[in-house]
């Protein structure tokens, strides 16, 4: 009897392992871990200093991306491929919004109603708007909402995955691949922290998307009956400046969190992937966000570029050979970044290098490139601006020389007569 019981235990354990490997034992947002934001914040305050040292993180990968310039302000394994769990739904949501069919009424399929993990609680035959599905997708992180959206817009989960991958290609996300609209574990479903930040930055430029992910609580209608749902994002509404975006959790991906923050017109995207616990992902996110706003400032790059260029012009002349003008008027092309986030301790290391020819043969065309102005810190290039000809300069031809001779002769005769 004892041997039979032991065999039963072995068979049960083997079945659990098998199902886990096959992807049937999955989780998404369905963890019982409760966190106390105040407790985590106090722990952060106690352990943090004004030091500019990079935060030490539990998360396997992380990044802070400046929204305006795309500059990477912090990164840890940000360019390595990883599972992304429900942060996948950022792509699902933006494709749904861009479809322009949010007022459509959708009937829930058996496949959508039977999906596991984090769900909105939809049943086969339920009817609701695509807009309400979208809120259920992003606030409650409903996998059932994700599948139903995929079937409605893509014809099937596979069809919608193709749409997701086409969008990823359009956004130049070369290390991102989608298989599902919800992000449950699959070895062919992956991204990087960097590309997830790029995708989020793109999505946050959409007003409908940014409104949804900045919603803490709302009511949707299923079969005309109101249902209240809350946002799973633990930082929304409690940490200064947070205005989205999405949580995620699977056994393979670990705890994930993508956060959008704006303080004093300084906007960043923070991504943490692969944290061991919900508490760690929250603490890591807080540490990265506070580190960013303590240590970086938005430097007025435009002013320093133009000031250096004008000073350089006062000391340098570009001569024109065989031109109808002896000296060339020059200007700068459009500056890409008027302001740029720079670590406060690195502002003193900002370097402006100007490389420009000192003479040119006519003819010269307006906006012809003759040099470059390069801005860098520690050999990392920030900005490269072309130096251009400000207007056309024609080449002297025979008629020009003939007119010049006649002009000089007339002056000489006039002086001789007088």
The residues carrying an active-site annotation are 86, 89, 141
Tokens of 31: 């963890």
Residue with tokens 């795309």: 70
For helices 157-170 and 143-154, the axis angle rounded to 10 degrees is 80
What is the rounded distance in angstroms from the CA atom of residue 168 to the CA atom of residue 174? 7
What is the rounded distance in angstroms from the CA atom of residue 181 to the CA atom of residue 162? 10
113-149 burial, b if ≥16 CB within 10 A, otherwise e? bebebbbbebeeebebbbbbbbbbbbbbbbbbbbbbb
How far is CA 331 from its chain centroid?
32
Residue with tokens 């943490």: 272
283-315 burial, b if ≥16 CB within 10 A, otherwise e? bbbbbbbbbbbebbebbebeeebeeebeebbee
What is the rounded distance in angstroms from the CA atom of residue 262 to the CA atom of residue 361? 51
Q: Please, what is the Cα angle at 262 between 208 and 146, to 5 degrees? A: 35
Write the DSSP string, 287-355.
HHHHHHHHHEEEEEHHHHHHHHHHHHHHH---EEETBSSSB--EEE---S-SEEEEEGGGGGGEEEEEE
φ, ψ of residue 38 to 5 degrees: the values are -60, -40
What is the rounded distance in angstroms from the CA atom of residue 343 to the CA atom of residue 92? 35
């Amino acid at each position: 009897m004892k041997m039979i019981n032991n065999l039963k235990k072995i068979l049960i354990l083997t079945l659990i392992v098998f199902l886990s490997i096959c992807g049937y034992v999955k989780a998404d947002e369905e963890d019982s871990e409760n966190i106390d934001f105040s407790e985590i914040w106090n722990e952060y305050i106690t352990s943090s200093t004004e030091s500019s040292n990079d935060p030490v993180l539990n998360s396997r990968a992380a990044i802070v991306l400046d929204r305006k310039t795309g500059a990477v302000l912090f990164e840890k394994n940000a360019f390595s491929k990883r599972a992304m769990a429900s942060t996948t739904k950022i792509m699902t949501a933006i494709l749904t919004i861009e479809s322009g069919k949010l007022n459509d009424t959708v009937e829930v399929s058996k496949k959508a109603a039977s999906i596991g993990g984090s769900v909105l609680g939809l049943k086969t035959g339920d009817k609701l708007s695509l807009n309400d599905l979208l809120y259920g997708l992003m606030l409650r992180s409903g996998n059932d909402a994700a599948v139903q959206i995929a079937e409605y817009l893509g014809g099937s989960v596979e069809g919608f995955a193709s749409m997701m991958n086409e969008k990823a290609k359009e956004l130049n996300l070369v290390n991102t691949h989608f298989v599902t609209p919800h992000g449950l574990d699959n070895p062919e479903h992956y991204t990087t922290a960097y590309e997830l930040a790029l995708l989020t930055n793109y999505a946050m430029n959409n007003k409908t998307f940014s409104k949804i992910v900045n919603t803490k609580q709302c009511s949707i209608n299923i079969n005309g009956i109101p249902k209240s749902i809350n946002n799973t994002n633990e930082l929304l509404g409690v940490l200064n400046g947070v205005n989205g975006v999405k949580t995620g959790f699977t056994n393979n991906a670990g705890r994930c969190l993508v956060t959008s923050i704006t303080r004093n017109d300084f906007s960043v995207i923070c991504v943490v992937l692969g944290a061991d616990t919900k508490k760690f992902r929250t603490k890591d996110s807080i540490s990265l966000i506070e580190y960013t706003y303590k240590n970086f400032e938005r430097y007025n790059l435009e002013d320093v570029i133009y000031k250096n260029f004008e000073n350089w012009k006062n000391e340098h002349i570009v001569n024109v050979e065989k031109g109808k003008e002896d000296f060339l008027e020059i200007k700068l092309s459009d500056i890409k970044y008027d302001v740029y986030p720079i670590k406060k301790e690195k502002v003193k290391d900002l370097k402006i290098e100007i490389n420009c020819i000192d003479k040119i043969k006519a003819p010269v065309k307006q906006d012809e490139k003759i040099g470059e102005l390069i801005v860098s810190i520690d050999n990392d290039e920030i900005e490269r601006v072309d130096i251009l000809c400000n207007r056309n300069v024609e080449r002297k031809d025979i008629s020009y020389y003939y007119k010049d001779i006649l002009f000089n002769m007339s002056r000489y005769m006039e002086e001789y007569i007088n």
